[in-house]
Structure 1
Amino acid sequence: MFENIPTWLTLTLGFSAQAFFGLRTALQWLKSEMAHKSVSPVSYWIFSVIGACLMFIYGVLRNDFSIILGQFIAYFIYLWNLHANGIWSRMKTLTKILLPALPFVAALLLLKDAQEYSQNFFSNKDIPLWLVVFGSTGQLMFTLRFIYQFIYSHRRHLSVLPAGFWTISIIGSGMIIIYGIIRLDPVLILGQVFGFVVYFRNLILGSGKKESSDAK
């Protein structure tokens, strides 16, 4: 379905997505260093939404099930955090309709060629089944951190990034880096290496201190 899409465009989308993810991580790290504790700035969730949209498209163009799976689940947790931070209520009505609809529209596009995608994802000679399972597990672990963050924050009625979030991030990121190396995927590798360091730093900053929902 997307065979005619040039490789440079696919990679541009992928690197753009990782740029937004990298920017959210860099800003969160900077604000955490300034606050001397791990914080959850609003910018983290705004850039997460933008990056997720681009990464989902990249996963479709790459015929990579593990990428698509991870982004689809995390997307709605990003939106919840926008709501928890008071951003959602200030958005235009049309934006509130379009943002939740985006992943479903993409899913419908996939369903049109469900059999073809199933063959590409699970029977692709370039991606052995064990590697698909490994990559998907890494993405699920990476997504689990946001499920954990959602449960933790929802119970406190506050958007925070607890220590457990960073621990799960380290595990998931490590698996994705290994997957990216095996797949020779520079987008996944470069996108995770920087974050891997930041996750460790946030664990150190958050050690013995109460997490905060915003930077001062």
Structure 2
Amino acid sequence: MYIMEFIQQYWIYGLGFFAQSLFGARLLVQLFYSEKQGKVVSPTIFWQLSLLASFLFLIYGIIRNDIVIIIGQTLSYFIYVRNLQLKNDWTKIPLVLRIVLLLLPMVTLTWIIFGADQKMSQIFSKNDFTNPIIFMGAIGQLMLNLRFIHQWYYSEKHKTSILPLGFWIISTGASILILIYATYRVDPVLLVAQSMGIVVYIRNIVIHFKGKTSAL
């Protein structure tokens, strides 16, 4: 019994770490292109990796009964799709795959609401928002998704996919909150991901201001 529980837990964390490795890879690729060009850029692969990682992490959140992750990934998923559209790269994906990508999160959430009798009660019973740390984690996750709404607004305004300064500032603040939440939940996936992420966020802020200074 202990061995089976260990294997199950290992598999769950493995899924979470793989999803976060993709999130981490998108940041490293984005930072590489930004360092290379001397300004903050928004490469296509950043959004492609985001889309794949978001769905996998949504599954992880469902398995862990973590409403913070579930809400966050559902909100940001379609913004990733929109950025690919703004970069004129969405239509380059085969039609069948595009349909699957759009249906995946909706099918998953439908399963939670209608297909699993105890799932919703389990999720909310394990997420007491009167607990200040859990509430803090929810705020942090909300900020991580609001940053994409902020990014989406600027992208629509400029008719192209961009990652503005505010995106990185919000990311940094959110990362601090989620690190506190992850420590409380003893979630190694979130701890590793946010520890790496905050370094990239701060570096992009530095690159942004360096670019502004060079332009003067």
For the criterion TM > 0.5, the same-fold answer is yes
**How many residues of Structure 1 are paired with residues of Structure 2 in the alignment?**
206
1:156 paired with 2:161, answer: no
What secondary structure sits across from 1:198 in the alignment?
helix
* Cα displacement (A) at 1:90: 1.1
1:90 paired with 2:97, answer: no
* Cα displacement (A) at 1:15: 0.4
> What is the identity, as a one-letter code, of the residue corresponding to 1:85?
K
* Cα displacement (A) at 1:209: 3.5
Q: Which residue of 2 aligns with 1:214?
A: none
Higher relative contact order at CA 8 Å, sep ≥6: structure 1 or structure 2? 1
Q: Which residue of 2 aligns with 1:194?
A: 196
Matched residues in 1 for 2:53 and 2:36: separation? 25
What secondary structure sits across from 2:160 in the alignment?
coil
The answer as to whether partners of 2:113 and 2:120 remain within 8 angstroms in 1 is: no
Deviations 1:140-197 (A, max 9, x none): 1000000000011001101000000000101111111111011100000101111101
Q: Which residue of 1 aligns with 2:123?
A: 121
Matched residues in 1 for 2:27 and 2:72: separation? 18
Runs of 4+ with >3 A deviation: none
> What is the identity, as a one-letter code, of the residue corresponding to 1:68?
I
Q: Which residue of 2 aligns with 1:8?
A: 10
Give RMSD over aligned pairs. Answer: 1.9
Deviates more, 1:49-58 or 1:87-96: 87-96
What secondary structure sits across from 1:40 in the alignment?
coil
Matched residues in 2 for 1:118 and 1:53: separation? 19
The answer as to whether partners of 1:21 and 1:47 remain within 8 angstroms in 2 is: yes
Deviations 1:18-60 (A, max 9, x none): 0000000011111111111111111110100111011000000
Aligned counterpart in structure 1 of residue 186 of structure 2, from 184, 187, 207: 184
> Structure 2, unaligned stretches of length 5 or more?
none
Q: Which residue of 1 aligns with 2:55?
A: 53
Structure number with higher helix proportion: 2
Q: Which residue of 1 aligns with 2:205?
A: 203
Q: Which residue of 2 aligns with 1:166?
A: 168
TM-score w.r.t. length of structure 1: 0.90
> What is the identity, as a one-letter code, of the residue corresponding to 1:67?
I
Q: Which residue of 2 aligns with 1:213?
A: none
Matched residues in 2 for 1:119 and 1:132: separation? 17
The answer as to whether partners of 1:122 and 1:132 remain within 8 angstroms in 2 is: no
The answer as to whether partners of 1:65 and 1:132 remain within 8 angstroms in 2 is: no
Matched residues in 2 for 1:14 and 1:37: separation? 31
Matched residues in 1 for 2:156 and 2:116: separation? 35
TM-score w.r.t. length of structure 2: 0.90
Q: Which residue of 2 aligns with 1:142?
A: 144
* Cα displacement (A) at 1:133: 2.3
Matched residues in 2 for 1:113 and 1:59: separation? 17
The answer as to whether partners of 2:24 and 2:196 remain within 8 angstroms in 1 is: yes
> What is the identity, as a one-letter code, of the residue corresponding to 2:87?
N
What secondary structure sits across from 1:155 in the alignment?
helix
Q: Which residue of 2 aligns with 1:30?
A: 32
> What is the identity, as a one-letter code, of the residue corresponding to 1:176?
I
The answer as to whether partners of 2:172 and 2:202 remain within 8 angstroms in 1 is: yes
* Cα displacement (A) at 1:115: 6.3
